[in-house]
Structure 1
């Protein structure tokens, strides 16, 4: 039985109401994880291990760059990531690494280029953690110091990207369908497969539109884009409404539909992309938009992956009362309130579900393109209930859930995503 239906009731009578039992379990739902007790607890219980392995959110980074920074933050008792002193603690290390990379990049050898690229990416990782947990420029920049780190990260990442065999190109796409408070340009990062010597002209490539999340943006997806290139696919990386440089009005529930229409029209006119083989992969908060576009633009897409996605219950008042104690490294609701254009957390909790839920607005009752839902059953940010409820609406869905795994189903999830993507791409006939 679905989590939003109860025995003896019709689905329509109770659909979308707070589940009586969260799948993650009441104990885990009520739990406040220890990393919320300050920067020392965050480093020691949550972040040190992934940092030592250079995995999210420390991908492209190096432990030796971060350990001294966190030692200093702990020593100075800086526990709030939203104060300038937190961000400023990271900047000297990032700037030093970028400067070292600049010097390496002047040497015209393959080895020097690889070394410079690695140093640039290490610098970008430091800038990334400096700007945690969240930045936006809509309707105005929310944090000037973090925004400086963001600008530096982009500049540094593009330097790295120019050293690669398949370089990164930044494109400012005209937002032709902008309306109301939408801004005029959509910044995207593009990579396409290398043109082989025997090819007289570039053939159009399948392409993945990668929709980023609440805190991971365009420069934070090197490994995924490399995976796409290895499969002969291009990538278009774009930020979601209410984050970083996205031009869509974060307070307007329809703004993403206009955004994606402008983006897909540009892709069709660009000439590099096989528009019969366009796939979307939405990460975390981006998963919400992957679900939405799977329904609103289904005829233009071959498939969508929504990983760690919310669509209805992650706006639930009961859920939001506890989510700040779950696995996100800092408080989640202040960032989510700002991301959705609300002036306060209380307003967000009271109004977000009615305004943005894909159930309340009827989006998920439409037919969709092929849609793969991926998550961990213990996701404390976007409840797995949001993925499961989609099976009751519209067209047939596909899914892979990982028992006991947290948000996004890491670390095993990607092993299920890529084979599905390959199968869907290969299923298209010219």
Structure 2
């Protein structure tokens, strides 16, 4: 449905046409939460602020009604832990975390001035950390890294930031938890605009089950990131200045390479969902030689940053006002100023799209993406230098063409189809691709548009979704159609 979508009208329609369904099926942005926790909070918001939406209500007014219910869930989790019921404790900590997540949606990050949103963001982090304490099969470590701003080029920069490191683990009969030993294949997971570091367990858990270590960081301009996105193009901080994110990526890559007992430096991957896919793609163009592949779901690339799209996107699929939230992440308090300046952040305008990225890129999205234009996904995969068959050609196996997988009828990231597909990619990747990775799923067959690099896709593989996944996706899709 294109045009002014009803969830932008008021608090009641936001609930009825967008978040109620997400709460019922555990979909974005409420993965891991319970309907019974969120529904009474929204009934309060509807009765108290009937003419507001999440894009117009004051930040503290939005966050306030989540605090007491979230704290009550935390207390239930603590009580369960005290009684020795770690499984129940884990469940309630994650339920609390999901509720706190919505309280600071759609943006929290450097420059945020809402005391209550900052409070609930900290509560969200604490709930996730507490859940990891009682998880029987996951270990967690918070790692502080330095951000090099020694030349003081970037006025929005802090000197350090944290990443979260997760590893698969086992717990013996005495309750002792031991992380899986040895260097593991590792995924750098870049958290997105509305889902920060604590909000990624739906993505992290299956990757840990496959045997990966997962290191999670906030993308620029969100969560605990040391920079906003404002100075991330050349010359943004003054003539001749490099992009501010260069030092960020260098710090993370250096950390991964400096821990050979934890991370297998020859088996590194990057993953980013929605807005975080933008940073995944950029990282792959800048430092892709360090990674086997970078997987991005539904990210902006070029057309997103055009003024006409940003103006139209205010009332499209995103739950709130997208240019406001995205502008905050890029360091702009004024969405009009951001819309005017956004063209600088296009990866095409930065001279990256259409050049040779040294690592494999896989872009996964819905064909009917109304958060970011699907044209961005297509541009990424098709704006690629032609292969010249001679000995002096710069094209080599180290510069594969990007791969693209689009799901017809699906919105941003491929919705319910996208991440199961990405899971299958990583499940196969940990064992090696052999003759190549097929970008077709047998459950969707020829109904999907695929643009791929031929060399990487020689040799078909059967990637059939499990019946449970198919049923979940079908139920979600039917419910979404009923709402629309």
Give the CA RMSD over aligned residues. Answer: 2.0
Per-residue CA distance 1:25-70 (angstroms, 9 max, x = gap):
xxx54x1111111110011111111201122211111111111111
Counterparts of 1:52 and 1:113, CA distance in 2? 25
Query: Secondary structure at 1:306's aligned position in 2?
Result: strand
Counterpart contact for 1:277–1:428, Cα < 8 Å? no
Change beyond 3 A, Cα 1:231–1:341: same
Counterpart contact for 1:307–1:375, Cα < 8 Å? yes
The residue that corresponds to 1:359 in the other structure is 348
Is 2:334 the partner of 1:344?
yes
Post-superposition shift, 1:329?
1.0
The residue that corresponds to 1:266 in the other structure is 255
The residue that corresponds to 1:379 in the other structure is 369
Is 2:301 the partner of 1:321?
no
Change beyond 3 A, Cα 1:126–1:178: farther
Post-superposition shift, 1:200?
12
Change beyond 3 A, Cα 1:175–1:41: same
Query: Secondary structure at 1:365's aligned position in 2?
Result: coil
Counterpart contact for 1:256–1:289, Cα < 8 Å? no
In structure 2, which of residues 348, 366, 383 is the aligned counterpart of residue 392 of structure 1? 383
The residue that corresponds to 2:69 in the other structure is 93
Post-superposition shift, 1:162?
1.0
The TM-score normalised by the length of structure 2 is: 0.78
Query: Secondary structure at 2:409's aligned position in 1?
Result: coil
Query: Secondary structure at 2:91's aligned position in 1?
Result: helix
Counterpart contact for 1:178–1:259, Cα < 8 Å? no
Moved over 6 A (4+): none
The residue that corresponds to 1:168 in the other structure is 140
Post-superposition shift, 1:195?
6.6
Counterpart contact for 1:213–1:284, Cα < 8 Å? yes
The residue that corresponds to 1:114 in the other structure is 87
- Tell me which of the two structures has the higher relative contact order, counting C-alpha pairs closer than 8 angstroms and 6 or more residues apart: 1
Post-superposition shift, 1:248?
2.2
Counterparts of 2:129 and 2:81, CA distance in 1? 13
Per-residue CA distance 1:173-197 (angstroms, 9 max, x = gap):
2224766332122211111122799
The residue that corresponds to 1:63 in the other structure is 35
Query: Secondary structure at 1:364's aligned position in 2?
Result: coil
Counterpart contact for 1:310–1:382, Cα < 8 Å? yes
Aligned length: 394
Counterpart contact for 2:222–2:228, Cα < 8 Å? no
Post-superposition shift, 1:261?
0.8
The TM-score normalised by the length of structure 1 is: 0.87
The residue that corresponds to 1:104 in the other structure is 80
Counterparts of 2:159 and 2:340, CA distance in 1? 31
Counterparts of 1:196 and 1:71, CA distance in 2? 41
In structure 2, which of residues 173, 177, 194 is the aligned counterpart of residue 215 of structure 1? 194
Change beyond 3 A, Cα 1:50–1:178: farther
Counterparts of 1:40 and 1:114, CA distance in 2? 35
Query: Secondary structure at 2:13's aligned position in 1?
Result: helix
Post-superposition shift, 1:255?
2.0
Query: Secondary structure at 1:247's aligned position in 2?
Result: coil
Query: Secondary structure at 2:220's aligned position in 1?
Result: coil
Counterpart contact for 2:353–2:383, Cα < 8 Å? no
The residue that corresponds to 1:412 in the other structure is 417
Post-superposition shift, 1:105?
1.3
Change beyond 3 A, Cα 1:410–1:200: closer
Change beyond 3 A, Cα 1:273–1:176: farther
Counterparts of 2:43 and 2:224, CA distance in 1? 32
Counterpart contact for 1:302–1:424, Cα < 8 Å? no
Counterpart contact for 2:149–2:159, Cα < 8 Å? no
Gaps of 5+ in 2: 173-177, 233-242, 386-399, 435-484
Judge which range, 390-399 or 203-212, deviates more: 390-399
The residue that corresponds to 2:117 in the other structure is 146
Post-superposition shift, 1:382?
1.2
The residue that corresponds to 1:23 in the other structure is none
The residue that corresponds to 2:323 in the other structure is 333
